[in-house]
Amino acid sequence: MSVEAKSAIAMSRPGLFSRFADDETERRYSERARTLRLPFVRLYGVIFMVVALAYSIVNPMFLAPTDNAQLAIFLGFALLVCGAYIGTTFWAGYIRFVLIDFIALLTLSLLVGKINMVLFEHLASLDATLYAVGVIDRLIITAFAAVTLAGRPRAFLGWLALDALAWFAQISNGQPHISGVVYSVLSYSSGAVVMVAINLAVGRTSRAAFQLADSLDSERARNEELVLNMLPPAAVNRIRSGLLVADSYADASVIFIDMVGFSTLAKRVSPGHLVELLNAFFNHADACAREFGVEKVKTVGDAYLAIAGGNVPSGNSADAAIAFARAVIAGVPEMGKGAGIEVALRAGIHSGPVVGGVIGETRMAYDYWGDTVNIAARLDATAPVNGIAVSEITWLRARDREGFGEPVTIGLKGVGDVAVYIAQPLAGGHMENAA
C-alpha cells in the first residue's frame, strides 16, 4: 500500500458506528481486534461453564425433582453450546466470522433466560424476596465500572470488594430462605467474575492500542526529525503541499572546506581509519555550523559544503562564513591527535546570489546552485594548508578582516582573474596576516 493511501486511511478514522472506507483496512482491523480478544473470549466461556456447573450442583439441594430435571436439560444444552463455542475459537478461520459469536451468545442468552424463569418461579413459590433478580441491576453498574476503570485492575478490584460488602450487608437481613441467599450469591459472584474479566480484557486491548499508537507517534517523530535534518522546515511544508521548492538568495556566502592531500592519505590508512577521520572532521564542522548559524548543505567525498545567509539566518553572511571556517580549521590539531596522523584543511569562501531548492522525488535534499557555489569551490583549491581564501566580494562585505593579507590576483578555471584575500595559517591552525 502506498504512503498516500495509508495517509488517507489515517485521516479518515471511522466514527462510533462507521467502518473504514477501505475494505482491506476494515478486515485487518477486525481480525487484529478479534485476535487480541481471543484469550478473553475463551476465558468468558470457561467462567460460564464453571458457573453453570455450580448451579447444577446447588439445584438438587433446593428444587423439586421436576424443576431440577428441567434445569438440568437447559444447563446441559448451555454447557454443550459453550463448549462448542470455545472449541470453535481454536479454528484458524474463527477470527474472520463474527457470526459465530452472534449465534453462540444469542443461544446462550436464550438458555440463561429459560433457566432464570424456572428459578424465579421457584423463589416466588417460597414467597422469598427476589434479591437474585436485583443482582442484574447492580451488575449494570458493575459493568460500567469495569469499563470505566479499564487499565486499572487494582482500582476496579478495590471498588468491587467494597460493592460486594455493601451488597452482602443488604441481603443478609430479611431473607427467610437459604435458597434465596445462595442463588443471590451465585448470581452476584458469577457476574462479578465476568466483570473482572471484562475489565482485564478492555484494559489489555486499550493498552495494546495505546502502545501501537504511541509507537506510531514515536516513529512519526523520528521520521519528522530525520526529514527536518535533511530539509528546511519551510521546504518540508511546501513539499507536503505539493508545491515546487525553489528559492533565490541575493546575499549568501558559500564555504567549501576540504582535507588537504586526501587522495594520498587514503592510500596510507585503512578504510575504517579513513572513515573515522572523516567522521571526526564532519562532526566537528557540524558543531561549528550550529555555533555560528551556518547551514550545512552536504558533504562530497572529503569536502564539506556550507552556506551562510540561506535558510538559516546568520546576520552578516560574510562574517559568519569566515568565523565558521576559522573555527573548523582551529580544530585541526585535535583531529590530528585523535587520528594519530597529521591532518590539514583548507577553505574557500565567495559571496553572492544563489538559488536553492529540492529536485527529484527520491533521496531528496535541499541544495544550492549558481556561480557563487562554483567560485567558492575554485577558491578552496587556492587556499594554503590550514588557510582560508576569500573573494574580494566576501572581503568587502566582511567587518572582521583580521588575518587577511593584501589581495593577490589568481586565475580561476572558467572564471578568469580574480582578486583573492588569503589568511595564512599559524602553528595550531590559527591564521596570521600574509602581508
pLDDT tens for 288-323 read 999 999 989 898 888 999 999 888 777 789 999 999
Cell 525553489 -> residue:
246
Per the CB < 8 A criterion, the answer to whether 327 and 291 are in contact is: yes
Q: What is the pTM of this model?
A: 0.54
Mean pLDDT of 398-416: 87
Is residue 1 over pLDDT 50?
no
Is residue 195 over pLDDT 50?
yes
Per the CB < 8 A criterion, the answer to whether 346 and 387 are in contact is: yes
CA distances from residue 421 to 281, 398, 406 in whole angstroms, order as listed: 25, 12, 6
Is residue 282 over pLDDT 50?
yes
Contacts 24+ apart (CB under 8 A), 133-140: 135/167, 135/184, 135/187, 135/188, 135/191, 136/187, 136/191, 138/163, 138/167, 138/188, 139/188, 139/191, 139/192, 139/195
Residue 379: per-residue pLDDT? 94
Residue 127: per-residue pLDDT? 61
Per the CB < 8 A criterion, the answer to whether 187 and 37 are in contact is: no
Kindly state the cell numbers that stand for 15. Answer: 466514527
- 301-338 as b/e, with b when 16 or more CB fall inside 10 Å? ebebbbbbbbbbebebbbbbbbbbbbbbbbbbbebbee
Residue 161: per-residue pLDDT? 85
Quote the mean pLDDT of the chain.
79
Residue 283: per-residue pLDDT? 92
Residue 286: per-residue pLDDT? 93
Three-class DSSP category at 72: helix
What are the two backbone dihedrals, phi and then psi, of residue 348, each rounded to the nearest 5 degrees?
-130, 140
Burial of 163 (0-12, 13-18, 19+ CB in 10 A): middle
- Give the chain's domains with CATH numbers: 18-222 (no CATH), 244-432 (3.30.70.1230)
Q: Give the whole-number percent of the chain exceeding pLDDT 70.
A: 78
Mean pLDDT of 353-379: 85
Mean pLDDT of 135-156: 66
pLDDT tens for 238-255 read 777 667 777 888 889 999
Alpha helices (H) along 149-270: 153-171, 178-230, 233-240, 262-268
What is the distance between the alpha carbons of residues 67 and 140, in angstroms, rounded to a whole number?
29
- 83-103 as b/e, with b when 16 or more CB fall inside 10 Å? eebbebbeeeebbeeeebbee
- How do strand 388-391 and strand 345-358 relate by DSSP bridges? parallel
Mean pLDDT of 201-205: 75
Q: Which amino acid is at 104?
A: A
Is residue 176 over pLDDT 70?
no
